Structures are given as structure tokens and as C-alpha cells.
Structure 1
């Protein structure tokens, strides 16, 4: 299985695509006007404490106040270390309005919701995650080789014993640490201690809301977090970004330095690999399956629903085998679409009904296997009595659709517009209201071409009756700039 990372950098936007066997699997976007904040550390100011919600709103300098729940607050002792209590502490004893507090962004602002915060601070490097206020030593669950887990834990403990600051902070060994040497872990430990020392100095000198630590730009985060032995090439299309990535690789991942390439082709790098076409498809509701079936994906505020249809596929065997084949293909496609679209929260999957329990188990196994590649944490339930699969996917940033799109100004995000017939009836009711309120003899109706055409054609007899009822002459005018739902009834 070959994987590549393609990085397109422009002054206003950075786009990153993760390719697996020639197919787009994930897309990351970062715009200068609205770059992500996950991982950034702030000195924030509590603006409102809400005992009923056991939460507080904190000003960290963003457009909307950020949300801090009581479960995400860990008290700090005299030595600056987190204190975990068996019994929950009331929010009013933890925070007060006007108080300054050091927080980290756990989730970006999404829709109308502000950022989600935590006081449990973490600083990532290539192989480790540093917990400056915690003494915990852990290891990623994605590292499954027990011998390698034991080797890495032993190496880390040895590094910490040799470090002068061994009593300060804890560490989590990342999945990327697989195969790392003692020197590499030592370098990460030194780097993270220096980084935290710099953050502490900023905390001591700060007396107002400000950012204390900002994570790396997208193309450097990708190298730090996404590169694995399966990544064969990292291709960038600008010299400046290439130089930065090459320097980062030389300092932190020298073994992989030869994998970085500067793309200098005439065509844009995303065009060569068809990424823009894939992004366009990912903004649509329908996803075609090779078998002829399809997925219908609808994202709402509360959840995302995915419906599986057989479409034109009839199969060569019996109906049960046809359904199984479509559902198995859909399970793999769903896992890919969740990553490409970055859909998070509650997700409801409506597979085609399967009577055979073994077929149901096969589909669930295929879905879980496909989700193993996902960097976001997922949880899948068994098929319910209604034939639905409920799952969750951790959401830390906006979905692809939320980043690239906004609600339609014509339908206000409904996805539908009223028919011309419906608008005609609304106009009739408005004519009656205006006629009763004013004494003038004529009314002017301004509407779109389609609505005016219907008024003068199919609805002409109703209009004649309305003129008799109101005793007024009704005139019409086409407004080319009006959408189908826009109209005005005015005095003439």
C-alpha cells in the first residue's frame, strides 16, 4: 500500500491531500483568514460562569467567547501540577468572572459554537506528547506490537532519568515513535522542555488576553503527524514551504528526508492528481458506487445521515447476495467519505436491510476494518432493530463543506425552494391584505419571470376573481434580480 502527501501552498491558503493507492483519502485546508486553533495555548479571561451548565465562557481573543466545561478544568497545586479529585469540584469554586486562566483549544469554533477549551495542556513533538502539568507516562493505543511498546517505554524512562528536569511533566509516546532510537527520544524531550519553558516565561510576563503558543503551520504539522513508513513521497509546490519542510525533516526525521520533493510541473499539482475534482464530488450529496448503487449523505446540525441504495445494480445471484455486495462496497466507501469530508459527531448509517445475521456481521467487520486507517477516533455500534448503524467520529475542526461553503442565500440552507404555485398563492393573500389596508385603485406585483408567467397563465382566472373581490386593478412587473421566492405587492 503506497501513500503520498501532496501540499499546495499559496499566500492565502494551504491545501494538503493524503493519497492512498492513487485515491484521495483526506483533505486538510488552512486559510490565513480563518486558520485553525486546535492545540494553541492562550491566556484567557473568564467572562461568564454558568453554574447551571457547570461551565464558563472564556475570552481568548477570538470572534466568539470559547466554552470551558467543568470536566475540562483540573486544579493546579503549588508545584504547578494538576490535581485530580475523586469528587467533582463546583465550577464556582474553580473559576470567577474576570479571572485569567491558561487554556488550550481542544476543538475549533464550528458553526455558531465557539471553541472548546481545556486546562489539560499538551505540547506535541514528532515522537512524544508532553504533559507539562502531569506526571503520567503513557503510550498510543495504535502501537499494537507489545515488544515495541515495552522497548519505547524503557527508552523513555531512561531518557527521563538522564534529564535534569525528570520530575517535571509527563509524556505520551506517539504512534510515530515506532522504531525511534534513544537519541531521537532524548532530542524530543529536550525540545519539549525548552518549548514549555518559553511558554512559562510568556505566562509570567502577560497581564492581558493573548496567545502563548501557536501550533506549526499545516504543512509542518502534516510532516510531524502524518508521516509513516507507508508514506513514499511528500510533494510540495512552493520553494519556501519545501525549504521549511526539508529543514524540519533534517532536524527531526532525517531518515525520511529523501522522501520530500519539490513539484515544479507546469500544471497545478492538485490538477495532475485530480484532487480538485474529488473535492467537488465531496461537496455533493450523492456518491456513486462502482456496483451502480449510491450513498446519499446529509449533514445537519445534530447529526449526519448516510443512506445506502442499490440503484441500478441487480446482481447476478439472489437478492440477499446483491444487497450484501452493495453494503460491503458502501461500508468501505463510507469510511473514505468520512475522512475526505471530515464528518464528525453522531453519524447514522442506513444500510440496505439484511436478514442474514452473518451478512450483518460481515458488513460491520468491513466497516470497522476500513475505519482503522482513520486518524480521528471512531466508535461503531451494532446494527439496531431498525436496521441502522449508529457511530461517532471525533470532531475537532470544521467539515470540508463547512469550510468551503455557506448557506444558500436563495433557500437559506433548506436545500429546497418554494414552487411558483406556492408563491402565487402567497401573492394572492398579500394582495387581499394590502387591498384592505389602502384605498388606492391599483396594485403592482413585482416578482420573478417564472412567477409572473404563472400568474398571467394558469392563475389568470383566479386573478380576475381577485380583481372583482378587491375592486382594484392588478398590474405585474418582472424583476430579473428576484429569486423565485421574492416578490412585492405595492401601491401603484
Structure 2
């Protein structure tokens, strides 16, 4: 059973897809970091970088946006500094990187995406050849005045007058946007789509869940008409309990689920996920399946489970960029081919584009996933004040070596040595009196120790 869980009771809006009791997709909309993706602005080119084939654009109060020159409509006059043009946000800013913009505006509908500046005609790969011919004929007749469309899979079952009505609506919407851009000067927001509602509608139409469960009467009424209009066989349930909807339907804490490093698989094997600056690495471990490493069938079975779980975690955590999977070594090429086919087939169900590049010479499987917004880690976490985001702190042994260096550098300023330190460091000193002898010999100072509590190995000379 597919369930679409939609929560909008709190300031943080969120929705999730649960398939056969397992979470497959989770989308969060934190109030402290609203996405700009899809927003359309009036922007001004601040600078042009020929070497990058891009321009940097001022469009709101945040950092400048990165605009590839190839995305600027050919109908525009010569691009120059100070030029004003409408731009749409494709990717949110993250860390030191500014947002990515496009000048090729796109307006999405239920059955198509309209491109007012681009003369193009594309189709969803899932549309059958017979329907493709029918839709192509309709589109060619409808686009004689210019513009282009991407026909979605949902258009297969739509009659031509319905498609024409939506195209007319999208053209009218663009006319109003263009009018607003021309009537006002400077940099300003032209349109901000209702991202949360639009995303849920899109998921409802595309995923066709068996149940849609929401904790809001308003949201329930909004989607009741969508279910009726699209003739979906989706039961609409209204959740009115005081307990949080996601706490009720999720089997684990969301933060733990999104940040857990080790994910256990059925049978005792696991995958270990490490998010690095430039890529994400997923390591496959046989773990508790002792003795299975040398068995070809067992290794292949573990790798198949790991492949499926890795792709599920990519969707769930919205991993993006380069992803490397270190599978358990498979000596037979046919086994590697089977894993490759499994990944490519499963990647088709991802709502974002996934490019599977196959196994490298070192046996790592490489793929990339499209990025459109900041990661969960960026939005919801801050670097640990103890380890500064490294994930590690100095060991008691290392702290003791640092203490020696500090005492040596301060020996001419001290008349006696009084050290506050944690129990683990003090225990090392008790077990090896060489440290005390070193102080007496090298420093010729009396020393006293005082144990303190701290969250990690720590010392302080007072």
C-alpha cells in the first residue's frame, strides 16, 4: 500500500511517501529556510565571466545568482552588464555557492511544462508510441505562435480540449508575468509558486497513492478536488489526533533517519553512509553474515539488497552530486552486470535525474543525482562545537602529548603546576608514572592534579 502523509499543522510543512510500510521519500519545508526554487525574479546582470560562460545576477537581497549564458533566450539583445531580464531559480544557494538561475523560464501545469522562450517539443519517456503521435500532432498545431512544451505522462489520458485549455492558461500566466516585468523597474520578485501545495499535488498525480492522510482541513479540501478531477482511486483521510502525524506513521525519528551513518539490511549486512564535501560514499559491509564473504551467491544477494537500499536512501535523504558505492567484491563480471542493471532500473523510479556511470577500474560503482536544493545536513544541523564538524576529537593519549608541549613552553612562567583534567587522562598518568618523572626532571616543578567532568578528553593548566 502506498500512503502519502501530508502535515501542515506546524510552521514546518512536510510530506512523505510510505510504500509497504517503508519511507521512500521525505520532503521538508523549514520556515527558517524557504526554498527559492521555481521563483521568478526581475534580475540585473552585475558581471559577465566569459571564461565561465556565465553571468552573475542581482535578483534579491541574497548572494548573486549564477546564470549560464546559454540559458538566456536568443531573442534577447546582446547580453551586457546592467542588463535587466527575468530569471528563474533552478537551485538554492548552499554554503559558499550562490543560487543557480536560468533565463529559460518554465511554467508547470498538470499535463505539460510550458517554455515561452524556447521552440521545443519533448515527451515523457513513459508515453506510449501511439499516444506520442497523437500528442505531437496536437502540440505542433497548438504551438504555431511560438513557445515550446514538455508533455508529461499524465497527458496520455487527457483529451485535446483539456490540453488546449491548460496551454492557454499557461500562456496567459506568462503574459501576466511578462507584463509585470515590463511595467516595473529594478530587481523584484515577479512570482512565487506555492511550493508545498504544488509539490504535493504533483506527487499525488504522479505517484497515485492508495491513501492521502493529512492533518489539515484546508489541505484536505484542496486535494479533494484534485482527486476528483484526476479520477484517482485515492482515499482521503483526515487525521485529527493531538499526536504529530509523522510521529504516528513513521517508525523512527526523522532526524535519526536522515543522519544515521549505518543502515542495517535484512539478514544482518549493512551500508555505511559518509557525506563528504565533494561526494557521498556508501560502503557495503557483510557485517554479521560471517562466513558468507567467500560465497558468490551470498555476496551477490548482499550487494543487491545494498543497491536497493542505497537508492532508497538517496531519495529519502535527497542525496545529490557524486555518489560512490563500494560493493563487496564480485569476481564474476556477470554479477557486476546484474547489479548495474538493477541500479539503472531502480533509478528510473527516482523523481530526480540519476545518471548511473557503472563500475570504475577500482570496482567502485559511480553515479550522480541532480541537485535542486540544500541538503538536510546543511539546513537542519550545525558543526559540532566539540569536534568542529570533523566527527573526531583528540584521544586521551593525544591530549597528554599536547599537555607536555604546553608545559614545556610555559616552564619559565610557572612556579608550580596545577592541572585540571578528565578522568581518562588522569588514568593514563596513574598507569605510566613516566609523565610525573618527566615533569620533575625537565621542569623541576611540583605538580598537582584535579579531576573534572567534561564531554570529551580535556585538560587545563592553572
Normalising by structure 1, what TM-score? 0.85
Cα distance change of structure 1 residues 357 and 465 upon mapping to structure 2, 3 Å threshold: closer
Task: Supply the distance in 1 between the matched residues of 2:76 and 2:255 (Cα, whole angstroms).
Answer: 48
Task: Tell me how far 1:313 sits from its aligned partner.
Answer: 1.9
Task: Tell me how far 1:455 sits from its aligned partner.
Answer: 6.4
Aligned pairs, how many? 462
Matches within 5 A, 1:295-374: 295-314=271-290, 319-374=295-350
Corresponding residue to 1:147 among 130, 135, 156: 130
Corresponding residue to 2:180 among 195, 202, 216: 202
SS of match in other structure, 1:469: helix
Task: Tell me how far 1:349 sits from its aligned partner.
Answer: 1.2
Instruction: Give a deviation string over 1:33-56, Cα, whole Å, max 9, x none.
Output: 112111111122333433443333
- Counterpart of 2:371 in structure 1 is 395
SS of match in other structure, 2:97: coil
Cα contact 1:223–1:245 (8 A) shared by 2: yes
SS of match in other structure, 1:94: coil
Cα contact 1:16–1:219 (8 A) shared by 2: no
Task: Tell me how far 1:424 sits from its aligned partner.
Answer: 1.6
- Counterpart of 2:356 in structure 1 is 380
Cα contact 2:73–2:118 (8 A) shared by 1: no
Task: Supply the distance in 1 between the matched residues of 2:390 and 2:293 (Cα, whole angstroms).
Answer: 40
Gaps spanning 5+ residues in structure 1: where?
Answer: 79-92
Task: Tell me how far 1:414 sits from its aligned partner.
Answer: 1.2
- Counterpart of 1:269 in structure 2 is 245
SS of match in other structure, 2:411: helix
Instruction: Give a deviation string over 1:89-142, Cα, whole Å, max 9, x none.
Output: xxxx6331x44332111111223322111111111111111111122222122x
Matches within 5 A, 1:23-38: 23-38=22-37
Task: Tell me how far 1:473 sits from its aligned partner.
Answer: 4.1
- Counterpart of 2:439 in structure 1 is 466
- Counterpart of 1:233 in structure 2 is 211
Gaps spanning 5+ residues in structure 2: where?
Answer: none
Cα contact 2:209–2:234 (8 A) shared by 1: no
Question: Which deviates further from its counterpart, 323-332 or 199-208?
Answer: 199-208
Task: Tell me how far 1:324 sits from its aligned partner.
Answer: 1.0
SS of match in other structure, 1:228: helix
Task: Supply the distance in 1 between the matched residues of 2:338 and 2:118 (Cα, whole angstroms).
Answer: 42
SS of match in other structure, 1:176: helix
Cα contact 2:429–2:435 (8 A) shared by 1: no
- Pairing 1:175–2:148 present: no
Task: Supply the distance in 2 between the matched residues of 1:317 and 1:401 (Cα, whole angstroms).
Answer: 34
Task: List 4+ stretches of structure 1 deviating above 6 A.
Answer: 315-318
Task: Tell me how far 1:327 sits from its aligned partner.
Answer: 1.0
SS of match in other structure, 1:61: coil
Task: Supply the distance in 2 between the matched residues of 1:228 and 1:121 (Cα, whole angstroms).
Answer: 23
Matches within 5 A, 1:96-245: 96=81, 98-141=82-125, 143-158=126-141, 160=142, 167-228=145-206, 230-245=208-223
Task: Tell me how far 1:26 sits from its aligned partner.
Answer: 0.6
Task: Tell me how far 1:376 sits from its aligned partner.
Answer: 0.9
Cα contact 1:445–1:488 (8 A) shared by 2: yes
Task: Tell me how far 1:285 sits from its aligned partner.
Answer: 1.1
Task: Tell me how far 1:443 sits from its aligned partner.
Answer: 4.7
